[in-house]
Structure 1
Amino acid sequence: MGLSQALTTAMSGLRATQASLSLVSSNVANAETPGYVRKTVNQVAGTTGDYGSSVLLNGVNRQLDQYLQSQLRTETSGASYADVRSTYLANLQSVYGNPDSTGTIEDAYNKLLTAIQGLSTSPDSQSARIGVVNAAQSMAQQLNATSQGIQSLRANAEAGISDSVNTANNALTQIATINKQLQSGGQTDASTAALLDQRDQYITQLSQLMDIRTVTNDQNQVTVFTNSGVQLVGTEAAQLSFNAQGTMTPNTLYNSDPTKSNVGTITVTFPHGGSYDLVSTNSIRSGKIAAYLELRDNTLVKAQTQIDQFAASMSSALSDKTTAGTAAPASLAPQSGFDLDLSGLQSGNVVHVSYKDNTTGVTHNLSLVRVDDPSVLPLSNSATTDPNDEVVGIDFSGGMSSVLTQLNGALGSAAGLQFSNPSGSTLRVLDDGTGRSSVTSGSVTSTVSSLTSGDPQLPLFTDNGGLYTGAITANGSQMTGLAARISVNTALVGDPSRTVVFSTNPLTAAGDTTRANMMLSQLSAGSYSYSPQTGLGTTSAPFTGTLLNFARQFISQQGEAATAAKQLSDGQDVVLNTLQSKMSATSGVNIDDEMAHLLQLQNAYSANARVMSSIKQMYDTLMQVM
């Protein structure tokens, strides 16, 4: 090897050592920088002249385990989803309150029962009467406050979606910008490696918001998709938009039909045109955004339904009166059936008819529901909570003749029943007299509207001052949001004596316990069925029990859900922390290792420098000889 070849080899060693020293310096300086990946020089052997060898620099290596990075992003999405749900369910539990403490639904209900029990013992006591009214107002206010708390959480979730969309758009824009800056060639230099670190940070930020997967091409450019396959960014970024709807109420609900939905949805608009609804297509399944959507549109809606159902059942338990039909005149034989008085029937009230199909031996239970808005027809069987009911919605807006036409059309030839109106508001239902079917029972459940109707039932609770009847309109069920609107009948607040007096002619005696006993029995011992939309029971086997049992059940269910969410969140955090530790071990900077490497590089630098110094001395000697 000649001196020039030796000099070239030594110089290549110095250049490689200097590059490595620069990266060690960068590694140490960024040891605590989030997302920084340790870097090393990629060195290859080269040939100098005929016999000499040298060191060539072939780019910069990022010490990155891509499989581990992919797993980390997946778990980041899962952990973010679990953390958001855990936080919100803990807050929801705070809204419901501890069952053993004051200021809860259960506490207010127990106080109402105690007040009514006191009235039953001393019906002529003015303080007992006022006590019932006050306890009822506290009960209504507790439901109002609980509903407000739930809707505040839904509003926070809506705001969380909006903030997340803004963050996602920024990340997508930055990823696209870095993709454009990256150059091809298959070699990564220090500046390119720094860009890759930045891009990975934005991708990780995006993975906190939604579940994603990435594909990297040979140009070092990455394309990001949702796990459902929607492309979000390549060299150009798609744009997410969220049409927030402002104030959140129990009636602001999501619907996949945009004409019926009144909460915000997320739309992705692609760079070259076209858009896609990410919510209705369930394209976001994890991350913060998925958690916010699930809370806003499902979990918190179910919580609202629970307290709405409680409010509705409590109101109806006191105001609904069921009157059995009277047997139709014997002169109509061989036909038989019942006459039903519809004079007090309100929108949402129900006429119950049972008949037996003598051919099959099957008994059918019909619920004929009054509706005054024909746009909601036909009703589904979920309009009542009895799984054995066959629901028929009847439009009453056209009068009795229209009602008869609808009933005979729906049930005449099909069920072998005949409906008529012998007089006034009486509905007569008969079999057809052929023995094909037999009407076995008939009754009317209507809402009492007066405090002094002569019946012990009373509208103690109202829907923002109006009668609660369970009406179904184009705006939905009256039950929706009732807990937010429920209040005590203002006429009762003005005259607490009506907690006892239910008739003015003849006047109910001051010591009469009929109404107090009715209220106590209905609220403490009455058993009711509840909609499966509350999350309790199923359509075929709805949850049935007293109002107190129902309240305890959904509050307990909420507590269990919050505990399970916390456990899941803790578990996800453990998995995430474990992966982050592995990632740090493989891709992070270890100061001790870098210092050891630095000593090796110093020794290598010194060795190459000594070689160059020796070659210089040799050249100087040769020059002197010449």
Structure 2
Amino acid sequence: MGLDSALSIATGGLANISAQFALVSQNVANAGTPAYAVESSAQQDITADGQGLGVRTGPATIQVDQALQASLQQQNATVTGLTTTQTALQSIDSVLGTVGQGNDLGSLLGTLQNQFSTLLTDPSSQTQQSTVVGAAATLASGINNLSQAYSAQSQAVQNDLVSAVGTLNTTLSTIGQLNTQIIAAQQAGRSTADLQNQQNAAVQTLSGLTSIKTIQQPNGGILLVTTGGLSLPTNAGTTPFSIAGGSANPGAYYPGGGLPGVMLGGTDVTGSLTDGRIGADLTLRDQTLPTGQAELDEFSANLSSRFAGQGLSLFTDPAGNVPSGGGTPVQAGYVGYAATIQVNPQITANAALVRDGTTSITGSPTGASAFTPNPAGGPAGFTTLISRVINNTFGNDVQTGVAQPVFNTAGLGAGGTLSAPFGSASSLADYATDMIAAQSQQSAATSGSLTNEQAVQTGLVAQVTAQSGVNIDTELSNMISLQNAYQANAHIIAAVQSMFSQLLTTVGTGA
């Protein structure tokens, strides 16, 4: 082998080592980058007639387990969806109150009942009459606050849905751009490793938005479909999905009730976007939160009507009216009533009405018994109304032997499509307990599921990392080997240069 061949081989070796150093550096720098797969390049000895001529460095590649990646993508959608749901429900939990601490609806209702019982022992006490009105105002305020929490969270979810759809478009555009670059690079025989890692990161972002499947194409690109079968467009620079802003008030609903769907072109594809942040937002907006609001409206309407049915319109809307039922859908007359329920302004101005009553009741064999309010100047010790409230308004019977009208648990909400996840209770206290328990249990179940699914996600991430992630120990070992190889090639070059120098000196001396 001539000196020029040795120099050429050593120089080529240094170029190969330099390329390998660059890969090691990039791998180490991205050791903590989610979805990054370690990059490597194949090396091939170059020979001719059995004589070594150097080494050829192939384009950088990555190795990923597609099945494992698919499992992780699905798990990302599950965990992100549960996280989104948990965040929303925890904001409601903070307003629901805690049973036994006096700030939940059941406790506030019990306090009002106790104040009526105390008033029964001394109906003439103006102080106790005012205390009853104060307890009623506190209960109404608690209902208002919870209703406001539902409305605020529903609007927050609607706003987040608009933001998530924007992220969906941006991410799909990024994936589309990378698709184009990967296909071109593969056709030209160039490395696609960096581009694939960028695309994997974008796909991971996408999998947090909705549940997807990735289909690898022979040309290096990918196709994306949702688990609902919707093909996701990846044309670079487009914004295929859209959703209008909307006011998520108690009277709004989807579809057809003022809340927008997610559109792809001119087609409503809301039902095809499941799981992930978008799927969770849709479920919260269209099912979970409006169901909680509808349950609260049902409690509020029955609270008002059961008091009014005994002759005391204690809870009304701001105009002093008790909402009517019997509409279509069943809550048509009191959708969103929980947001406005208050103590009757007439009673606020005259607390003695909690003793005397506000309304005459005509007796009915299927409803309440007859009642006439205590007239002005009537007995200060009038107890008829107070007894009716304690025994019937708070009880299971509208009068002895006649059951109270049942609470609606199906056909709820402005659209009449929602159902409470519990059976119909007889008393106000039982309904309040069932309602709070159901909502608290849903939040607790979501938190429990999230903990379990996060553990699964952590396990999948560990498997992916072990299979295709960066191992710092391996990269450091490679670096040491490359350093040794670099020194060896550098010695060869130095030796060849020394030989050339000596040869030139000898030739010069001989001349």
TM over 0.5: yes
Match of 2:332 among 477, 488, 496: 477
Cα offset for 1:184? 4.6
**Structure 1 residues 134 and 614, CA, compared in 2 at 3 Å: closer, same or farther?**
closer
Is 1:532 aligned to 2:409, yes or no? yes
Q: Is the 8 A contact 2:233 2:240 kept in 1?
A: no
Match of 2:354 among 476, 499, 507: 499
Q: Is the 8 A contact 2:41 2:57 kept in 1?
A: yes
Q: Is the 8 A contact 2:83 2:450 kept in 1?
A: yes
* Partner in structure 2 of residue 80 of structure 1: 80
* Partner in structure 1 of residue 91 of structure 2: 91
* Partner in structure 2 of residue 311 of structure 1: 300
**Structure 1 residues 56 and 235, CA, compared in 2 at 3 Å: closer, same or farther?**
farther
Is 1:578 aligned to 2:459, yes or no? yes
C-alpha distance in structure 2 between counterparts of 1:27 and 1:98, whole Å: 51
C-alpha distance in structure 1 between counterparts of 2:246 and 2:420, whole Å: 30
* Partner in structure 1 of residue 195 of structure 2: 195
Alpha-carbon displacement from aligned partner over 1:185-241 (angstroms, at most 9, x marks no partner) = 367645x32222222222111111111112222332222222222222334455221
C-alpha distance in structure 2 between counterparts of 1:316 and 1:467, whole Å: 7
Match of 1:563 among 436, 444, 451: 444
Cα offset for 1:620? 7.6
Cα offset for 1:144? 1.0
Is 1:607 aligned to 2:462, yes or no? no
Match of 2:428 among 547, 551, 561: 547
Alpha-carbon displacement from aligned partner over 1:393-438 (angstroms, at most 9, x marks no partner) = xxxxxxxxxxxxxxxxxxxxxxxxxxxxxxxxxxxxxxxxxxxxxx
Structure 1 stretches of 5 or more lacking a match?
A: 270-274, 321-455
* Partner in structure 1 of residue 170 of structure 2: 170
Q: Is the 8 A contact 2:161 2:281 kept in 1?
A: yes
Cα offset for 1:34? 4.2
Is 1:106 aligned to 2:106, yes or no? yes
Matched to 2:333, the amino acid is: Q
How do residues 223-622 of structure 1 correspond to structure 2 at under 5 angstroms? 223-236=223-236, 237-246=238-247, 248-255=248-255, 260-269=256-265, 275-279=266-270, 282-320=271-309, 456-465=310-319, 466-472=321-327, 477-502=332-357, 503=372, 508-526=378-396, 528=404, 529-533=406-410, 536=420, 542-611=423-492
Is 1:211 aligned to 2:211, yes or no? yes
Q: Is the 8 A contact 2:46 2:55 kept in 1?
A: yes
Matched to 1:290, the amino acid is: G
* Partner in structure 1 of residue 366 of structure 2: none
Q: Is the 8 A contact 2:325 2:331 kept in 1?
A: no
After TM superposition, the structure 1 stretch with the greater mean CA deviation from structure 2, 298-307 or 500-509, is 500-509
- SS in structure 1 of the partner of residue 186 of structure 2: coil
Cα offset for 1:137? 2.0
C-alpha distance in structure 2 between counterparts of 1:597 and 1:470, whole Å: 77
C-alpha distance in structure 1 between counterparts of 2:103 and 2:276, whole Å: 34
Q: Is the 8 A contact 2:318 2:345 kept in 1?
A: no
Cα offset for 1:60? 0.6
C-alpha distance in structure 2 between counterparts of 1:41 and 1:187, whole Å: 17
C-alpha distance in structure 1 between counterparts of 2:353 and 2:486, whole Å: 101
Q: Is the 8 A contact 2:304 2:322 kept in 1?
A: no
* Partner in structure 2 of residue 443 of structure 1: none
C-alpha distance in structure 2 between counterparts of 1:317 and 1:504, whole Å: 16
Q: Is the 8 A contact 1:92 1:150 kept in 2?
A: yes
Cα offset for 1:517? 0.8
Q: How many residues align?
A: 475
Q: Is the 8 A contact 2:17 2:486 kept in 1?
A: yes
**Structure 1 residues 530 and 45, CA, compared in 2 at 3 Å: closer, same or farther?**
farther
- SS in structure 1 of the partner of residue 246 of structure 2: coil
Alpha-carbon displacement from aligned partner over 1:331-364 (angstroms, at most 9, x marks no partner) = xxxxxxxxxxxxxxxxxxxxxxxxxxxxxxxxxx
Cα offset for 1:98? 0.8
Q: Is the 8 A contact 2:161 2:278 kept in 1?
A: yes
Instruction: Give the TM-score normalised by structure 1.
Output: 0.70
Cα offset for 1:317? 1.4
C-alpha distance in structure 2 between counterparts of 1:616 and 1:130, whole Å: 106
Q: Is the 8 A contact 1:315 1:461 kept in 2?
A: yes
* Partner in structure 2 of residue 430 of structure 1: none
Structure 2 stretches of 5 or more lacking a match?
A: 358-371, 398-403, 413-418
Structure richer in helix, relative to its length: 2
C-alpha distance in structure 1 between counterparts of 2:373 and 2:28, whole Å: 91
How do residues 25-64 of structure 1 correspond to structure 2 at under 5 angstroms? 25-49=25-49, 51-52=51-52, 54-64=54-64
Matched to 1:559, the amino acid is: S
- SS in structure 1 of the partner of residue 161 of structure 2: helix
C-alpha distance in structure 2 between counterparts of 1:238 and 1:231, whole Å: 14
C-alpha distance in structure 2 between counterparts of 1:144 and 1:464, whole Å: 12
